[in-house]
Amino acid sequence: MMQIGFILIIRMNSSSGQKGIYIMKVTDIKTFVVDCFRTNWVFVKVYTDAGITGVGEGTLEYKEKALIGAVEHIRSYLIGKDPTQIEKHYHDIYRDAYWRGGVVLMSALSAVETALWDILGKHLGVPVYQLLGGKVNEDCRIYVNGWFSGACEPKEFAEKARSVVDRGITAMKWDPFGKSYLQISNRDLDKAICCIAAVREAVGDKVDLLIEAHGRFDVPTAIKIAQEVAPFKPMFLEEPVPPNNLEALKAVREKSPVAISAGERLYTRYDYNELFHLRAADYIQPDVSHAGGIMELKKIAAIAEVNYIPFAPHNPSGPVANAATLQLAACCPNFCILEIMYSDVVYRSAVTDENLVYENGCIIIGDRPGLGIELNEAECLRHPYVEHNLRHYTGALTDIRPPENAFYFGERKKEDF
């Protein structure tokens, strides 16, 4: 007898007539590295002897080969084990890494952990958010990134911003600071402020602007930038200083007239513990692909909740990471807003069966089991690894999409109701 929906499945032994306990086992883990123009998506797929598979994403910009090696180490540990013991596996893998943390190990662990949640949700026939307490949000507000692709001058940013708002988008983010590092000249700062002013004029006061700094300024420069952008009422200024000194981030926040967001390059609740202790940010931005996976982000969000800090996940990567982050948007009471890429390579829709629907500036959260997404392995193999490098200091910051790209989520139609 086999009763679907339970982890322990009872089967009759044909030779003895006795009943035995069957526990699902992991049989393999594979990585799929997919070129997506500005970087490579790194998807991880976990296979089981029950025929159920799970997917996760650890897209690590520009260090993909190191990530693949880290996944291989986790594979050696996980083969033959019960995929539903997610907390135990996370604990043991993290504990048994003598050199704990770091973006490579944590991205590998995040991807595998996410895939295990996908397996468990599919096995029980429920979305992952249902296993984490159920929905508190039916949809989630989004802000778009990448909408500015190819723009260089303020008027070009303004034109692109108008087309974004015409699609019903209510919040947008970009980095207007060129290739400056640590300091910025008055000339370049003036151009950045002109760019922000042009976009604000183009979209009006009802659209939220979020200003990205990519963690590249020193403390006095970051404070000066915060003061200069304040008249345009941004929702927040993101990562104004490099991520490896939270005291510096605190120093900026204490003198900034605008809210400060940070956290995409912090890993695990242990890193976040210091940020919360210092009260160094107004919004937190952990990334499900790097900070430890679904349960770790749920824990980080819970700590933020008791500190009355909004949860605004970092999410500029691929479709699997987006699906995982939507599970968290569904079940975290202090969820605020979700980053999402405005457009992508034209084959994004072929790599998975992603089906995003939005209305009124929000993505509708679905109810498919697990993460609600499946990977097309054959399509992944059609777009193999291509080496890409960081654009931020080369003058090519806005070259984020190929000339041919696609808007990949659409408005809810009447038949969807």
CA atoms within 13 A on the CB side of 183: 3
CA gap 56, 293 in Å, rounded = 9
**89 flagged as catalytic:** no
Coil/strand/helix, residue 222: helix
| Among 269, 246, 174, CA closest to 214 | 174
Which region, left, alpha or beta, applies to residue 299 given φ > 0 means left and ψ of -120 to 50 means alpha?
Answer: alpha
Q: Which amino acid is at 303?
A: I
Query: Which residues are paired to 90 by β-bridges?
Result: none
Coil/strand/helix, residue 67: helix
Per-residue tokens: 336: 């605020």
Q: Per the residue annotation, which of 214, 290, 383, 392 is the catalytic one?
A: 214
Phi, psi of 285 (to 5 degrees): -135, 60
Other CB atoms within a 10 A radius of the CB of residue 398 amount to 20
Query: Which residues are paired to 237 by β-bridges?
Result: 211, 260
**314 flagged as catalytic:** yes
CA gap 376, 350 in Å, rounded = 7
Give the CA dihedral 118, 122, 125, 126, nearest 10 degrees.
10
CA gap 300, 337 in Å, rounded = 16
* Neighbour order of strands in the sheet with 40-48: 26-35, 40-48, 53-57
Phi, psi of 256 (to 5 degrees): -85, 135
What radius of gyration, in Å, describes the C-alpha atoms of the chain?
A: 22
Q: Per the residue annotation, which of 89, 290, 314, 383 is the catalytic one?
A: 314
DSSP class of 231: G
CA angle centred on 247, ends 245 and 250, rounded to 5° = 120
Task: Indicate which residues carry an active-site annotation.
Answer: 214, 314
